[in-house]
Structure 1
């Protein structure tokens, strides 16, 4: 063999050794994270929690902040995914604490698939105004619709939860869409809220804003990839906005700008701020975090060892109600909390994705198993798919087939959002007198995941337990694709649709 041949083989051997080292680093759980995480869930623990929730439905009404005599607009309170997840729970909690349906309006692009806010529920009587928040005129029209006489003169709170979530995109070519919804949409909702006379504005932000991109291709001698474990806090809020590529994905970059818009609009007459849910958000079979695995018979995964602070949609919603309660106080008592974000998480240590998989495997009526894939294989594939996507975009439509299905979302940012993330929620838990919100989660992650599987099983109780019988939900990923294909809609001239919505 020639010297060149030996050199090539030596280089390939070194590359293989390097990739094996990267895979080893990406497959570990650092000691710092292991100490923060609780013990893994056992089968007995899962079955006992499931049976308790099945026999005694959880009622946390007494833990919801007391009713305020106000009217409400909830953007994103109907559609599926995280916006509809959080917004839907806000609507349910408002009703549970005694707010009449005629004092609540949902503004969203589509009606809900959620069974707990559908036909036959108390939420079915809530007014629904269809609007694409990318359209300023559509948002203005939705806010300007007449209110019933009993609600018209009440002060107005706006809960802005509408957004699109694309956690796998970082290309500048794909920034326009999340910017149009998350930034321009927030700007439109802020303007409409002011015009409608709102004095309290609470927006759902994202804990991923604080996340720095992970340097997965670590030096061979490194103890861990750069940013392999991070604390999700609000330290970044005290610094200037980073450039777009300083965030892990376009989603986080657009949400960071939107968060600054909301907090920057706050003042004595218009008190505004944000709730940052930790990663990942779950709470209904329509979500990505638990619902997507539930919908699959076989789940390829590289994340069983990944530890994160989860947060149930009901906990995010109750954080918004605590946020509102503080902001609705006189300025002297709410100035410290206004104009800033708060991180919230479930009231327990972070868990591992292995816990979620164990819960589905143990509790679901459907067969479920995982197939572990080496992280380095996902990393290499993700970079290859991203390069292909960039070439397809540069070449123009129709030249190269567009990525479709799961492959479209398998790009390098996934390696950042699927890393060890621990949320710092101490500030939100402090009493209002100490600058906090007095937030306390009403569901642990164990209870929340078991409850979601219980709901899944109930919705499939009359169907075969075969893989083909699984109900298909519209997740946030699918919804974002659908919205992106839609033209920006003009305001509807139809009369109020109170009682017609199933969301």
Structure 2
């Protein structure tokens, strides 16, 4: 063999061996994660759960606090979690004319445009625009001229720009525009109109520490491979490069501002605030960027089968917001319970955390093979992600520096933009969220949170509503993840004998990486 061939061939062999070795370490479930999730779900268990839920559907109505008669501003209420908060307010009997939604786009879900929801006042606006926020918050209410005192105001702030793929400090302003400046605008407008309660949707990801996944041959696993996360301030990263991405940095900044606003003056008294950190991904019917997105895309290349993580089913998360509101109302009315204003609470689904492989099994089984998850090498994808990040950041730097050549470099406009190293800091570590504080009774300083659906039970409802089209879908469901189209995988998906009732066009007319403003 020619000598000039030996060198490159040896390099290819060594690269192949390294990828194989590194993959074996990234796809192993460490003992620290297995202790929280020792068993995997089976096809038999999935079918048994489906039969049980069909015979006795789960309800969370008994966990929803009673009607308050207050006025409500739901920022991001045309979106996913915010839309479910609106739903739960209506479910408990709140007057839809006393509910106002501010969002960057009009609601598309049927459950937000029909029935009582049709009387909810929707206002289009960008929360990073202080004038737009002030106009929306100061718009007249139907009962403004009614005799007697007006009902007090609660603000639920769920809007966010979810640019999880960026981690460079130079790009932080993209996330901060909505997440920080927008939140500051919401705080100021809330105080100006006399709101007395504000509950903010933070993120469990604010505590996730960045890791490193290209290991040395002698290393057994990445640093911080298993992370047990609660509300302890000591575990929150202290420097930018320790956060998993700019999204987490900006959400932590916004959370601190909301917490600092607790007990500050409001036009009609005092503003009480609180924050919730759902751990980790919020999913469910109505347009989530996680499990519902899998159903929309159908073919979902993945490398995360063995990763153990908690999830937060959207109805559990929505009710947690109402519980925090109720606790703050009680404190404002003189309750002797511990004062939990200005705090943050982790919330998650009840039950043990699943692996992503468990999630994939449920979705694939319930869609009868229509939703598939072809496996990819995590190490290979990490290597590719660094190239994509280099291209993305370099183009952004050239644009910021004013170089004319930057405008000749094509922008990344598909979901390939999501495949950057920050993604792996979020989905390739085992995340165990401890919500024991939120589950304490109010007299012990908790929210009294329980949750009704386990993650796997929530997946069943997500699939059922996707098939029936009950909650419809949102454009954002197809914005996250990596939607490579492999001919072989697609053909396999088409062999599925299940017939999804609500077929969703894959050609959604929106930039797949457009910043989102509804958590």
Partners of 1:165 and 1:480 within 8 A in 2: no
Is 2:49 aligned against 1:39?
Answer: no
Say whether the 8 Å CA contact 1:296–1:467 is kept in structure 2. no
Tell me if structure 2 keeps the 8 A contact 1:301–1:373: yes
1:431 aligns with 2:428: no
CA distance in 1, matches of 2:303, 2:236: 34
Shift of 1:5: 9.0
Corresponding residue number in structure 2 for 1:295: 296
**Is the CA contact 2:162–2:516 (under 8 Å) kept in the aligned structure 1?**
no
Q: For residues 449 and 516 of structure 2, what CA distance do their matches in structure 1 show?
A: 33
Determine whether 1:143 maps to 2:137: yes
**Separation (CA, whole Å) in 2 of partners of 1:452 and 1:352:** 17
State which drifts further: 287-296 or 374-383. 287-296
- Between the aligned partners of 1:204 and 1:280, the Cα distance in structure 2 is 12
Q: Is it true that 1:391 corresponds to 2:394 in the alignment?
A: yes
- Using the alignment, how far apart are the partners of 2:457 and 2:511 within structure 1? 27
Match of 1:298, SS state, is coil
- Give the aligned partner of residue 514 of structure 2: 481
1:322 aligns with 2:312: no
Q: How does 1:20-35 map to 2 (within 5 A)?
A: 20-35=20-35
Residue in structure 2 matched with residue 130 of structure 1 by the alignment: 124
Aligned-residue offset at 1:329: 1.9
Q: CA deviation at 1:480?
A: 5.7
* Corresponding pairs, count: 475
| Length-normalised TM-score, structure 1 | 0.87
The separation in 2 between residues aligned to 1:363 and 1:447, in whole angstroms, is 12
1:353 lines up with 2:356 in the alignment: yes
| Residue-by-residue CA offset, 1:169-198 (whole Å, 9 max, x unaligned) | 112343212100000000000000001101
**Tell me, what secondary structure is at the counterpart of 1:308?**
coil
Residue 101 of structure 2, aligned match among 99, 102, 106: 106
- C-alpha displacement of 1:224: 1.0
Q: Which residue of 1 aligns with 2:457?
A: 447
Instruction: State how far apart, in whole Å, the 1-side matches of 2:412 and 2:18 are.
Output: 29
- Whole-angstrom CA distance in 1 between matches of 2:355 and 2:390: 31
Distance 1:284 1:468 in 2: 14
Do the aligned partners of residues 185 and 53 (structure 1) sit closer, same or farther apart at CA in structure 2, a change above 3 Å counting? same
Partner SS state of residue 270, structure 1: strand
**What is the rounded CA distance, in whole Å, between the counterparts of 1:472 and 1:195 in structure 2?**
43
Structure 1 residues 235 and 443, CA gap change in structure 2 (3 angstroms) = same
Distance 1:125 1:322 in 2: 24
Match of residue 81, structure 2, among 80, 86, 108: 86
Q: In the TM superposition, what whole-angstrom CA distance separates every residue of 1:89-109 from its partner, at most 9, and x where no partner exists?
A: 111111111211112111111
For residue 44 of structure 2, give the secondary structure of its aligned residue in structure 1: helix
Aligned pairs (5 A) from 1:308-347: 308-330=309-331, 333=336, 336-347=339-350
Q: Is the 8 A contact 2:467 2:501 kept in 1?
A: no
Per-residue deviation, residues 371-419 of structure 1 (Å, max 9, x unmatched): 1001101110101111111222233342221123121110001111102
1:116 matches 2:111: yes
Q: CA deviation at 1:479?
A: 7.0
Which residue of 220, 224, 232 corresponds with 1:227? 224
SS at match of 2:301: strand
| Residue matched to 1:260 | 256
Shift of 1:126: 1.1
What SS does structure 2 have at the residue aligned with 1:107?
A: strand
Please give the alpha-carbon distance, in whole angstroms, between the structure 1 residues aligned to 2:161 and 2:414. 18
Q: Are 2:246 and 1:250 aligned?
A: yes
Is the partner of 2:453 in helix, strand or coil? coil
For residue 285 of structure 1, report the CA deviation from its aligned partner. Answer: 4.8
Pair 9,100 (structure 1): closer, same or farther in 2 beyond 3 Å: same
Q: Is the 1:38–1:351 Cα contact (8 Å) retained in structure 2?
A: no
Q: Could you say what secondary structure the match of 2:389 adopts?
A: helix
2: distance between equivalents of 1:240 and 1:293?
30
Is the Cα contact below 8 Å between 1:208 and 1:232 reproduced in 2? no
Change (3 A) 1:454 1:6: closer
Which secondary structure state, in structure 2, belongs to the residue aligned with residue 128 of structure 1?
strand
The list of structure 1 runs, each at least 4 consecutive aligned residues, that deviate by more than 6 angstroms after superposition, is 1-12, 464-469
The change in CA–CA distance for 1:260 and 1:335 in structure 2 (over 3 A counts) is farther
For 2:505 and 2:38, locate their aligned partners in 1 and report how far apart those are by CA, in whole Å.
32
- Per-residue CA deviations over 1:341-374 (Å, capped at 9, x if unaligned) read 1000001110011122111211126722221001
Shift of 1:58: 3.6
- How far apart are the structure 2 equivalents of 1:58 and 1:121? 22
Establish whether residue 400 from structure 1 lines up as the match of residue 409 from structure 2.
Answer: yes
Counterpart contact for 1:460–1:471, Cα < 8 Å: no
Q: Name the counterpart of 2:215.
A: 218
Aligned counterparts of 2:153 and 2:298: Cα–Cα separation in 1: 45
Q: Is the 8 A contact 1:207 1:276 kept in 2?
A: yes
Moved more, 289-298 or 46-55: 46-55
Structure 2, unmatched stretches of 5+, are 265-269, 400-405, 472-496
- Verify the 8 A CA contact 1:285 1:292 in the aligned structure 2: no
Residue 195 of structure 2: aligned partner: 198
Q: TM-score, normalised by structure 2?
A: 0.84
Could you tell me how far 1:48 is from its partner in structure 2? 3.2
